[in-house]
């Protein structure tokens, strides 16, 4: 009985996470973490009909003794095609994400902005860039290990592959 209850609870929790998208197809995304939290997990799902992704961000508390300082939105960090590489600088982490979807004839794409907040009482060092960690048209889920933050995002958009 304990095993079946645990399995059911696990399935219910997983289903709730999958359905908790923070935007709708072709609609804007605007998400920011509660006070003194930062984004540590990002999930998204692609749909070929909409040529868009649904997004889900999960936040984590800052370590004891740390707090968020000054925050600044850095809007429109990419164009409609090609490579973009964004990074919060100066001991700042990503605490929010904003995007608009464009459904033009050739460009089915999102333009992103990021909320970067200064972390007081914690020094961000040993930063590294991951390799590409998702596949075109596939579900994506990434989280940073404990005591790590997300400080930026790199992406490539190519019309020919859509």
Q: What is the pLDDT of residues 42-77, one digit of tens each?
A: 999 999 888 888 999 999 999 999 999 999 999 888
Per-residue model confidence (pLDDT) at position 119: 95
Taking 70 as the threshold, does the pLDDT of residue 141 lie above it? yes
153 pLDDT band, cuts 50/70/90, is confident
The b/e string for 17-36 (b: 16+ C-beta within 10 A; e otherwise) is: eeeeeebeeeeebebbbeee
Written in H, E and C, the secondary structure of 103-126 is ECCCCEEEEEEEEEEEEECCCCCC
**pTM exceeds cut of 0.85:** no
Per-residue model confidence (pLDDT) at position 132: 76
Q: How many other CB atoms sit within 10 Å of the CB of residue 154?
A: 14
- Burial of residue 44 (CB within 10 Å: 0-12, 13-18, 19+) is buried
28 vs 98: CA distance, rounded Å:
7
Tokens of 87: 């990074």
Which backbone phi and psi does 71 adopt, to 5 degrees?
-120, 145
């Amino acid at each position: 009985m304990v095993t079946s209850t645990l399995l059911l609870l696990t399935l219910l929790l997983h289903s709730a996470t999958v359905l908790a998208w923070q935007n709708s197809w072709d609609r804007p995304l605007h998400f920011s973490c509660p006070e003194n939290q930062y984004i540590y997990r990002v999930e998204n799902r692609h749909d070929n009909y909409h040529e868009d992704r649904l997004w889900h961000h999960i936040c984590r508390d800052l370590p004891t003794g740390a707090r968020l300082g000054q925050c600044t939105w850095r809007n429109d960090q990419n164009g409609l095609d090609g490579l973009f590489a964004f990074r919060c600088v100066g001991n700042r982490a990503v605490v929010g994400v904003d995007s608009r979807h464009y459904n033009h004839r050739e460009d089915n794409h999102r333009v992103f902005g990021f909320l970067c907040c200064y972390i007081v009482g914690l020094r961000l060092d040993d930063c590294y860039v991951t390799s590409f960690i998702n596949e075109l048209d596939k579900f994506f889920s990434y989280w940073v290990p404990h005591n790590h933050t997300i400080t930026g995002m790199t992406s490539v958009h190519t019309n020919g592959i859509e």
